[in-house]
Amino acid sequence: MKKCCLILAYFGKMPNYFPLFLKSCKTNSEFDFLIFTDDTNKYDYPENAKVIYTTFKEMKDKIQAKFDFEISLKNAYKICDYRVCFGYVFEDMLKDYEYWGYCDNDLILGDLSEFFIDGYDKLFCLGHLMIFKNTYENNRLFMSGEYKKAFTAGENVIFDECWNNTENIHDIFLKNHKKVYERDLSVNFKILSNTFVKITFQPESRVFLEDKTECLYTWENGKIYRYYMKDGLVKEEYLYIHLQERKMKYQHDLGNVYKIVPNSFLPLEMPVSEKTFAKIRKKAFHLHLLQYHLKWKIRGLKKRLKGE
């Protein structure tokens, strides 16, 4: 059997740095990627990424056909709640895989195989990237929870990841005594900050711990690294980097080594060492916070105009 297939369902224009996401998919040759989208722009899809061009309505109809009650799927963001049932909805497409999962498109993937742990029913807590053992029971386990409530709610209820609610796919697996790997291995950033403030999810307390250490983040030949100074240079490897809500400048032809600063993907000026760490630019002025608040004000205004 093949190792794992990760599903990305996204409707609308992909982020401008989507080519970097695809490049990070390519370096994970043991994993396949199944991408459902209506963005028909020409991207260099690697051999292990299969794109299926479809409409939002067609995706809704595909999901609806698997249930005997009327689901609520009014907008593309609501699809997040339905990702838990992809193993059930796309069962025929996943039959040759030992594992399946879902991921976001605002990621740069590291070396997934380096952190992949066999023997678990579910890997990870957060919806950016979650993986399941591909079994008949696991693919239907979401039905043991209040999935009908989630699938008929008008708004997103965060059914697809661990959060402050107790009715989500993570808690359903725990309640059913499934073997779950919970440690957060991602580089995930606080949204409300112009700088990179790393936040790490603590599954026991359901809180994020903030880390404001000055760091350098890089993608080097398929691996995500975090560098910082603490009694010398520290180098840590991570599963992926998550750039939620951030507008990023993207230079083409970055090669196989580049750095990631709060608003850009840039060439790495020099090899990283204790001597060069302080010389390498790690920050950039930008309007992320203003853009973020403006985006949500506009979204709220549109909802009011629609009477939602």
Q: What is the pLDDT of residues 18-34, one digit of tens each?
A: 999 999 999 999 999 99
DSSP 94-136: GTTEEEEEEE-SSEEE--HHHH--TT-SEE-SSTTEEEEE--H
Q: Which of 71-80, 165-174, 283-292 has maximum average pLDDT?
A: 71-80
pLDDT in tens, 225-281: 999 999 999 999 999 999 988 889 888 889 999 999 988 999 999 999 999 999 999
Q: What CA–CA distance (Å, rounded) separates 228 from 234?
A: 5
Q: Please determine, for residue 289, whether its predicted confidence score (pLDDT) is greater than 60.
A: no
pLDDT at 241: 98
The answer to whether the CB of 217 falls within 8 A of the CB of 107 is no
Which of 65-79, 167-181, 191-205 is predicted least confidently?
A: 191-205
Provide the whole-model pTM: 0.91
Q: How high is the mean pLDDT of the chain?
A: 92
The answer to whether the CB of 244 falls within 8 A of the CB of 111 is no
Which of 108-112, 177-181, 256-260, 282-286 is predicted least confidently?
A: 282-286
Where along the chain do its domains lie? 2-181, 187-290
Tell me the one-letter amino acid at 283.
K
pLDDT at 306: 64
229 beta partners: 233
Which helix (H) or strand (E) segment is 300 a member of? helix 288-306
Alpha-helical (H) ranges within the chain are 18-26, 56-64, 79-82, 86-89, 112-115, 136-140, 147-152, 169-175, 288-306
pLDDT at 181: 97
Tokens, residue 302: 């549109």
pLDDT in tens, 119-148: 999 999 999 999 999 999 999 999 998 999
Q: Please determine, for residue 202, whether its predicted confidence score (pLDDT) is greater than 80.
A: yes
Which helix (H) or strand (E) segment is 180 a member of? strand 180-181
Question: What's the whole-number mean pLDDT along residues 164-179?
Answer: 91
The architecture (CATH level 2) of 2-181 comes to Alpha-Beta Complex (3.90)
Residue 170, burial from CB neighbour count under 10 angstroms (0-12, 13-18, 19+): buried
